[in-house]
Chains A and B, each alone.
Chain A
């Protein structure tokens, strides 16, 4: 039976009998069947061989001097190394009691003497196969368990298995590490007492309680849990109900210490705040620079009302010097003086507002009003431009949510650039400023000029810091604009008009409308 040989190359069979004749017969019967055969003529020797070689099948004679078969069987079953071997008793005792005793001691089968070799071969073959399969299965089981244990051990999150009362039935090494004691010490402790220092398990609002009691999955972040030594730590956990056939058997809790995470978040938050602060700073510096560049214009702008005031004052004095002063005319002139001083202070107010630091923060802003204000601002610069600035907006332009000063800064920057480009081109065309609603969520403001335009080379670097085409420029204007507009939740961009010049636009979110950030690039 060569198939047996190939099929059972590793199968070991131990033959135990005090009678050499019997041993010989057994040996002869099984010798060419592909088994590794071991032979013992007494109990102790059999136990020793079995312990060392883990035979699949042991043919064991009951009636032996010293240790009899029953005792050998008992000891084989008691030794974990040999407990899984199939013990087949051999005896002339063909009574029921002997068989029952054999089975009760863990015997697998029984062959009566004198035995038929066919029967021996058949039974050994059957048991050898059973044991082999059993061993394979166990080894697979061990592997699987090993895998599971490795996973549970290597996972960095703590894992608890709880019963419905919150008693800890299982804890992985990570849980022990986080809590600060041995895993064994955790088993049997009450989860709620241990980590939330409360014996009052009726408190439904305790973390994980709902999962244990109602089978509701939970997920919470920044929950304060206690370690074994009573100190607290911020934790994040997920609790999943443990169900067997729809019946609730407690919960599985996966948790971890988020101290480091929270610290990172805090650091990130601080870094963000710093970036915001630096953006504010840069924006403010940029506003100061703009004001510096516009200083001559502002001086002119303030000088106008001052000149008028001086003139009116002179006229008034002259009127009063008359014998019968025309009081009506005098009052009119004084009114004019008053109006002009308001005009001067309005200009100064506008400058001060623009220079204010920090900017006022986001508020609901009327776009037409803001653009009109900005136009007046920019007109200070416009005296060398013939075309001027034209502001147009659709009637239904909604209010936006933005920082008005920063938006004005961006609009002013774009308008001044446009005026400069127009001047450089010697063009009389006006700078066109327009605003319209753009989709549900944003308002698009556009500054279009017919000036020298932007070279394709320059276009690529337009919004990059420290790139400039101006001789005395620092190259921070548009970069600052972009950062400011992005801080408002909008976008800024450039479009190349077909008929020359340049077109810059930016978008701002409509006030009171939740939703998508502003669409970009749509003409």
Chain B
């Protein structure tokens, strides 16, 4: 799952810059997809995309900053490298605050750009791995029956089997059976690990 193909998405209005960047990245062996406008990219966007975006900050129509906001709204995790011109540093700083990975000033050195792209791709891999893990946890949580889910919540809250049995008015034995099924479904043998797993996706399952 983590070995998904990563693509460098280039969003750049200037045809020559776009074309040369595509050639450059391809010659370095990177899959490249180019877009002439922010809108064109948005139209094509899906959460299945992996890799990073090299985004021109100044473009006619929707500019780079706006595209970043729109992508944030879609919970995109694609790292963005902003390409800025002279004097765009304040904009770049804002972009960083909005979660951009990095920015690079035109005209740039190839090495610098490739380095930043590598870093972005690495970050994407990391994020994607984490995301995959979380999604696995969520998938597992969702496989629990309501009763098992209730037992798990109480386990995470630190309630002993005895207490759970009394409060739910079931036998302690039944609690133990549920408990072992929860541990099995969640793929762990350790309560501590279970707690950590569930807490990491707490925002997503409530």
Contact = CB atoms under 8 A, between A and B. Distances in A.
Interface of A: 296, 299-300, 303-312, 314-315, 318-319, 333, 336, 339-340, 343, 382-386, 388
B6 to A, nearest CB: 20
A67 B20 CA distance: 137
Interface string B28-70: 1000000000000000000000000000001111110000000
Which interface residue of B28, B85, B87 has the most chain A CB atoms within 10 A?
B85
A340 B86 CA distance: 19
Given A307-B107, A386-B60, A343 B16 contact: yes
Given A306-B107, A311-B110, A315-B23, A388 B60 contact: yes
Given A300-B58, A308-B17, A314-B27, 5 more contacts: A296-B87, A299-B85, A307-B20, A318-B28, A336-B16
B85 A296 contact: yes
B118 interface: no
Given A296-B87, A307-B106, A310-B107, A318 B27 contact: yes
Interface string B86-111: 11000000000000000000111110
Closest 7 CB pairs of A and B: A311-B20, A308-B16, A300-B85, A307-B107, A296-B87, A308-B20, A299-B86
B107 A383 contact: no
Contacts of A306: 106-107
A315 B20 contact: yes
Judged by DSSP, the binding face of A is: helix
Contact of A311 (B23, B63, B85): B23
A382 B23 contact: no
B133 interface: no
In this complex, the interface size class of chain B, counting residues with CB under 8 Å from chain A, is 20 to 34
A336 B19 contact: yes
A310 B108 CA distance: 8
6 contacts: A299-B87, A306-B107, A308-B17, A314-B27, A314-B110, A336-B20
B17 A383 contact: no
B17 A307 contact: yes
Contacts of B108: 307, 310
Contacts of B60: 382-383, 385-386, 388
Contacts of B109: 310
B162 to A, nearest CB: 65
Contacts of B23: 311-312, 315, 333
Interface in B68-87: 85-87
B205 to A, nearest CB: 41
A115 to B, nearest CB: 127
A312 B24 CA distance: 7
Contacts of B201: none
Given A315-B24, A386-B60, A305 B86 contact: no
